[in-house]
Amino acid sequence: MYLVTGGGGFIGSHMIEYLLGKGEEVRVLDDFSTGRESNIARFAGRFELVRGSLLDEETLRTAVAGCGRIIHLGAIPSVPRSINNPIATNDANVRGTLNLLIAARDLGAKRIVIASSSSVYGDSPTLPKVETMPTNPKSNYAASKLICEHYARVFDTVFGLQTVCIRCFNVFGPRQDPNSEYAAVIPKFIKLIRAGKRPVITGDGLQTRDFTYVENVVNAMHLAATAPAPPQALVCNVACGSRISLIGLTQLINNILGTSVDPEFADARPGDVKHSLADISLARGAIGYEPVVDLETGLRRTADYYLNNENES
């Protein structure tokens, strides 16, 4: 059985859908503090739900018991949210992950796949980002994800719990909330441009990102959970290995929607990095990962989703 923490979240709900499509038994742990029950209502009756927090050790052990493989997506996401409330981010992301690692070790889980983040690289100008380069987190969120990687390495090398940490690069896709104060750029931009409103780019718009459609990420996580013999305490990038500027992204969304809405510009946000591009050769070799959906295809699928689900946009 698989345990998916944070299953009510954007990526988590896609992970559940993917695993159910593979015929796997799935248990979900979520307190729905940031995730939404509506994300997984469509799969009701096909998975087991444990409602609770990673910080509640009794509930956590109930969720972990009997699960051989764990995909850990439970976290408080967002760089600006972590800067506004660093204690909450640390509690959920660091202490929650440590609690999970302890429960997984004690209850005999075989492998845990942990969602990390490209933000651990910080603002180094070196491109592409390679796993061997120094890390330099510039936000509380990034720091929390890097600490989780270190804890995973300890539990793999000291306790024999197999761990894989996936450094995700700017994940997007259907069911990503466009209305949150901390909404990611793509759903927010799609919503605004569709409405004829000018999206706000923080900074000069020349910053680049390796935007990664969610199907690529859940595929990689499943590969990481099932690879016969990944390297010990593996940490690897998962992305498309290509980048686009935020100005270019705005133009591409306009092309897809058939609109011509220009962005506005505002001061850059603290903690944001200028450029991001992944080297994905390690993931290719270690777990057999290949991107299955490119940026434009992913954007079209995402735009179609919000067009057909007006209540979520």
Closest CA to 173 of 289, 304, 276: 304
Q: How far is CA 3 from the centre of its chain?
A: 16
Phi, psi of 208 (to 5 degrees): -120, 150
d(CA 296, CA 256): 8
**Pairing between β-strand 171-172 and β-strand 212-213 as defined by DSSP bridges:** parallel
Residue 207's contacts (CB-CB under 8 Å, 6 or more residues apart) are: 245, 246, 272, 273, 274, 275
Is residue 141 annotated as part of the catalytic site, yes or no?
Answer: yes
Sequence letter at residue 298? G
CA distances from 276 to 1, 91, 141, 227, 241 (A): 35, 27, 16, 27, 10
Phi, psi of 201 (to 5 degrees): -100, 125
Determine the length of the chain: 313
d(CA 201, CA 175): 22
d(CA 99, CA 74): 12
Q: Identify whether the C-beta of residue 8 lies closer than 8 Å to the C-beta of residue 28.
A: yes
d(CA 84, CA 23): 41
The three-state (H, E, C) secondary structure of the chain, written as one string: CEEEECCCCHHHHHHHHHHHHCCCCEEEEECCCCCCHHHCHHHCCCCEEEECCCCCHHHHHHHHCCCCEEEECCCCCCHHHHHHCHHHHHHHHHHHHHHHHHHHHHCCCCEEEEEEEHHHHCCCCCCCECCCCCCCCCCHHHHHHHHHHHHHHHHHHHHCCEEEEEEECCEECCCCCCCCCCCCHHHHHHHHHHCCCCCEEECCCCCEECCEEHHHHHHHHHHHHHCCCCCCCEEEEECCCCCEEHHHHHHHHHHHHCCCCCCEEECCCCCCCCECCECCHHHHHHHCCCCCCCHHHHHHHHHHHHHHCHHHC
Residue 20's contacts (CB-CB under 8 Å, 6 or more residues apart) are: 26, 43, 46, 47
Supply the pLDDT for residue 310: 65
CATH number of 2-171+213-241+277-292: 3.40.50.720
Supply the pLDDT for residue 181: 61
Supply the pLDDT for residue 312: 59
pTM, two decimal places = 0.94
- Domain boundaries along the sequence of the chain: 2-171+213-241+277-292
Supply the pLDDT for residue 274: 87
Q: Identify whether the C-beta of residue 97 lies closer than 8 Å to the C-beta of residue 148.
A: yes
Please tell me which residue in 141, 151, 213, 306 is annotated as part of the active site.
Answer: 141
Mean pLDDT by 10 residues, the chain (313 residues): 98 98 98 94 96 97 98 91 91 98 98 96 93 95 97 98 97 89 83 96 95 98 97 98 97 98 91 88 98 97 90 56
